[in-house]
Amino acid sequence: MKRAIRRTGQKLRSFQQKAVAGGRKVQTTLGELIAAAFDTAGNEVKDVANLLASPELGRVAKSRIVLVQ
């Protein structure tokens, strides 16, 4: 699970680095984050929820995602 968090964080960081290099800001929608989490963690909803609610992803995205059932 920690590897999945790192990979998603690395993807977001690479998007941000490319945006900074190009001098533009990247806006990522919540749907894109969820799709990236499913691509990374597979089709396990519990793993995706843990991934999206992780502090590491919050730090990379510069906002905290709170999931409510």
Q: Work out the number of other CB atoms within 10 angstroms of the CB of residue 41.
A: 22
Tell me the C-alpha distance between 16 and 14, whole Å. Answer: 5
Give the global pTM: 0.55
E strand or H helix at 38:
helix 30-41
Per-residue pLDDT tens over the stretch 45-61 = 888 888 888 888 788 77
Tell me what percent of the residues of the chain surpass a pLDDT of 70: 68
Amino acid at 59: R
Question: Chain-wide mean pLDDT for the chain?
Answer: 76
Domain boundaries, the chain: 2-61
52: which 2 tokens? 């999206």
- The angle formed by the CA atoms of residues 52, 11 and 24, to the nearest 5 degrees, is 110
